[in-house]
Structure 1
Amino acid sequence: MTERLFRTDPYLTSAGGTVTALTPEGGIVLDRTIFYPKGGGQPGDSGRVTWDGGACDIAGATKADETSIVLVPAEEAPLPPIGTLVETRLDWERRHRFMRMHTALHLLSAVVPLPVTGGQIGAEKSRLDFDMPEPTFEREAIQARLTELIEQDHPVSDEWITEAELDASPNLVKTLSVQPPRGAGHIRLVRIGSGPVPVDLQPCGGTHVRSTAEIGAVSVGKIENKGRANRRISITLNGEATGDPMPTGHGH
């Protein structure tokens, strides 16, 4: 089982770990990791693994199953043997852009309160697809409200509920195409806002910034028609992160 350090502190940029397995495809499994595995529309993290006598660049991370995360080397290279102590380092700039984008998409889903049919997070451009039969939202209005929510500097936090509690509140699930992972008995919720009525609250396993102001300026693209009742809204990051985007360094 891989301990998910990114879950408890998404600002960790480096950490030690021990190799617990090597996959037939040449992937590395550690007992703990700061690398987020591809899922929920968010790409897997990249970075570097070093050990006594060797190193390799990591192109991405994936889930081997519900408990293990595999680091995928960028190219064929000698791998650290099972039992080796390694040091992992994240491509922090890339990951932080994903964190800003992911949080901005949560705000977008609050600004456009319609069922989400798909989405993708990128370092340069991200999108959500909505079940929107008619163009009921104007781009300018979405831009104005999204900018307002970002500038209001709402805190972003997470909490856990049971699967039974989620079943009792099905409106928390906004995505039609992706359901929260089940089987562990509990579901992680990401909350934006500190008041009794949150700006947004939904199941999510991704990494997010500490507050909405850290997202920085965002541009909303034109609303694209992507088939019957399906409309796509894309966003791009317009500027640098604001607030305190500094990582926390090494995870012991």
Structure 2
Amino acid sequence: MTRQLYHEDAYARTAPARVERLTPEGGLVLDASLFYPTGGGQPGDSGHLAWPGGRMAVATTVKGAAGEIVLVPAEGETPPPAGTEVEQTLDWDRRHAHMRVHTALHLLSVVLPLPVTGGAIGAEKGRLDFDMPEAPEDKAALEADLNALVARDLPVSEDWITDAELAADPGLVKTMSVAPPTGAGHVRLIRIGDGGEQVDLQPCGGTHVRRTGEIGRLRLGKIEKKGRQNRRVTVHLEE
């Protein structure tokens, strides 16, 4: 199982690692990954690896078997052999944008407290699909509420509970389409706010900013009808 450095410190931009193996498809598995693998609507990280006499661009990162994380080389790149000591470097601007958008979508689920049926994260915008038969009457008020949560500069932290504790409290799960990652015996929770200031707590394996103020101003985009019961709400980073 690959050590998940992005959970230990989502702000780390570089880190050493050792190549454990190459996959038959041409990817490579490190003993510890700074790169977040595609999952939960968040794209896999990109960046590069460097080692004495070599360098390889990482196009994206995906989940492999048995808890492994697989780095996918950019087209035409040659990965280093197993056993090579490498230095990982993230495409930090892209990752940080994903962190801002991901945390913004958690806040969107606060101002629109409805079941979530899907979602996607990008570097400039993100969207959630809601079980929402009718569109919100006042989009401007919704956007104001969202930016008010950002402006409160609430702390964003993580906690862990057991699979059994999650099963006993199913209300923590907002997503109808994607089940939280279970099976390892524990589940990661993302908390926004603390104590009496807590506004959100839900299972999530993605990367997030430390405080909501770091997200910056948000703009609500289209609210589109996607089927009889579903509405898609898009959020844009404004700065």
Task: Please give the range of the TM-score, normalised by the shorter of the 2 chains.
Answer: over 0.9
Matched residue type, 1:152: R
Structure 2 portions without partners, runs of 5+ = none
Aligned partner of 2:142 in structure 1 is: 142
Aligned partner of 1:247 in structure 2 is: none
Matched residue type, 2:236: T
| 1:145 to partner: Cα distance | 0.4
Matched residue type, 1:105: L
* Counterpart Cα distance in 1 of 2:6 and 2:209: 12
| 1:79 to partner: Cα distance | 1.8
Matched residue type, 1:43: P
| 1:197 to partner: Cα distance | 5.9
* Counterpart Cα distance in 2 of 1:21 and 1:234: 39
Superposition pairs for residues 12-31 of structure 1, below 5 Å?
12-31=12-31
Aligned partner of 2:206 in structure 1 is: 206
| 1:121 to partner: Cα distance | 0.1
Change (3 A) 1:141 1:66: farther
Give the CA RMSD over aligned residues: 1.0
Contact 2:57 2:77 in 1 (8 A): no
Aligned residues: 239
Contact 2:20 2:29 in 1 (8 A): yes
| 1:31 to partner: Cα distance | 0.2
Output the TM-score relative to the length of structure 1.
Answer: 0.93
* Counterpart Cα distance in 1 of 2:196 and 2:237: 29
Aligned-partner SS, 1:118? strand
Provide Cα deviations, 1:206-252, integer angstroms capped at 9, x if missing partner.
0000000000011001311111110011011001xxxxxxxxxxxxx
Output the TM-score relative to the length of structure 2.
Answer: 0.98
Identity between Structure 1 and Structure 2 (%): 60
Matched residue type, 2:65: D
Aligned partner of 1:175 in structure 2 is: 175
Aligned partner of 1:162 in structure 2 is: 162
Contact 1:112 1:137 in 2 (8 A): no
Aligned partner of 1:36 in structure 2 is: 36
Aligned-partner SS, 1:93? helix
Aligned-partner SS, 2:195? coil
| 1:78 to partner: Cα distance | 2.4
Aligned partner of 2:115 in structure 1 is: 115
| 1:137 to partner: Cα distance | 4.7
* Counterpart Cα distance in 1 of 2:127 and 2:141: 17
Aligned-partner SS, 2:146? helix
Superposition pairs for residues 56-135 of structure 1, below 5 Å?
56-135=56-135
Contact 2:115 2:131 in 1 (8 A): yes
Structure 1 portions without partners, runs of 5+ = 240-252
- Is it true that 1:222 corresponds to 2:222 in the alignment? yes
